[in-house]
Amino acid sequence: MNLPELVAGYVRVSTVEQAEEGYSIQEQSEKIKSYCKAMGWELASIQSDPGYSGATLDRPGINQVIKDVQGGYVKKVIVWKLDRLSRSQKDTLVLLEDVFLQNGCNFVSIMESFDTATPFGRCIVGILAAFAQMERENIKARLVMGKQAGLKEGNYYSGITPIGYKSELQENGKRMLIVDPFTSQAVKDMYKLYSSGRSLGEVGAYIQKSTVSIQSLIVATLLPPAPGFSAIRYMPAGSL
């Protein structure tokens, strides 16, 4: 008597927006269960990665699927849609060729209606993986454009606030740089001292004696003054 081939389902969602558009873990799981029932397949498990991006394989759920495939426990992996498996063309093809097919395991995507048990299915996976990669790059491009537009409107995104300024959340929800009256005066004094011919050592000595508390400042390199950026690079105190 031949034992039925066990199937492993995999579901993933990375954002609230996807969940609201019908990508939720529960909905994906229900679609997989219904499909397996209709095909007469025995669904052994459904591994999930809620809140994980498809950009990498650093996900506990997909890693468990890989272990089950390599261990010979399942002979078919099923997802609702290809990009739930991965949004990286390289990772998708690695999973398909080096993990699934190499271990005698087929891959099924419900939405794209293909099965790697057929040559056509294996060909289609490579094509669709390329589109998934392209969409990921388009998303990144849109994010960059959004940040650039935000900067033009006065929003501040950098994780490091320039010396002489502080990042402050405005009533309109935008985060903007405003002048810090304490550190900005020290920056102005340092620039004046250096531009008047004082050495970096002399400017550093001034900072140590300054009444303004700037424990993290040391003078390292003078930079051309520019709007939104202090004239001095800085390093943690005591690093000399």
List the domains of the chain with CATH numbers.
6-149 (3.40.50.1390)
Q: Is 195 a catalytic residue?
A: no
Sequence-separated (6 or more) residues with CB below 8 Å from residue 88: 54, 55, 56, 132, 133, 136
**DSSP letters spanning 169-217:** E-TTS-EEEEE-HHHHHHHHHHHHHHHTT--HHHHHHHHHH-SS--TT-
Distance from chain centroid for Cα 214: 34
According to the model, what pLDDT value does residue 12 have? 95
CA distance 56 to 67: 17
Convert the pLDDT of each residue in 46-96 to its tens digit: 999 998 988 899 999 999 999 999 999 999 999 999 889 998 878 888 899
pTM tops 0.75: no
Tens-digit pLDDT profile for residues 116-136: 988 778 777 777 666 667 777
> Pick the catalytic residue: 14, 48, 88, 184?
14
Confidence of residue 225 (pLDDT cuts 50, 70, 90): very low
